[in-house]
Amino acid sequence: MTTHIKPELISFDLCPFVQRSVITLIEKDVEFDVTYIDLANKPQWFLDISPLGKVPTLRIGDRVLFESAVINEYLDEVNPPSFHPADPLEKAHNRSWIEVGSNQIMNAFRMMIAQTEPDYETHRKATIAGFRQVEYLVQGPFFNGPKFSLVDAAWAPLFARLALLERALGEDYLPGYSNLRVWADRLVKRESVIHSVPENFGEKFLNYLKAKTYQGNTPGYVAQRLAEAS
């Protein structure tokens, strides 16, 4: 595979896992094309090339990569300098915390689409608890210290979405986590993170949550609160 071929990122514009790869592409100053698809109505051509039927999918010529962590590892390898630590143990440690970030994205997503208040509180507690260990690992200003890493790219989409919901609902999803708050605020304000989503992302994301319903007709808990707050 040659590395000069312009990559095509197949995307859904609200997906946090896609945003991870867009951030990495921007940070690496890689020119790329984006093709948006509707995940609720996936085109057959996409299903033909994506065995998992998920985004992001990166197409380089006639080769296809999927899973954001794999895509970002590839982008990091072919576009030096690396965003990973050089030490093998530290690199493995970073990879481990990228996976924790994936789990936290899902915890937060379950909270955001909660059907009832008890359901919301359950997932809210799980989300907040999931931050406990990383609070003591962040060296600042980024995860590993002064240099931006793939861990930062992996966690930034989560913090961006939580920041939107915090402002909309008056919540605090990082209570008592002072190191994490500084890290999150820095990532949300980073140019690559700001430009990794469409200009109307905040509005579109909150509208997506407002449309979430309970048993097909009643607004879910977060949807109700967003409607009341607007």
DSSP labels, the chain: --S-SPPEEEE-TT-HHHHHHHHHHHHTT---EEEE--GGG--HHHHHH-TT--S-EEEETTEEEESHHHHHHHHHHHSSSPSS-SSHHHHHHHHHHHHHHHHHHHHHHHHHT-SSHHHHHHHHHHHHHTTTTGGGT--SSBTTBSS--HHHHHHHHHHHHHHHHHHHHT--SSTT-HHHHHHHHHHHTSHHHHTTS-TTHHHHHHHHHHT-EETTTEEPHHHHHHHHH-
Residue 15: active-site member: yes
Q: Identify the active-site residue in 7, 9, 11, 15.
A: 15
Which residues form the catalytic set? 15
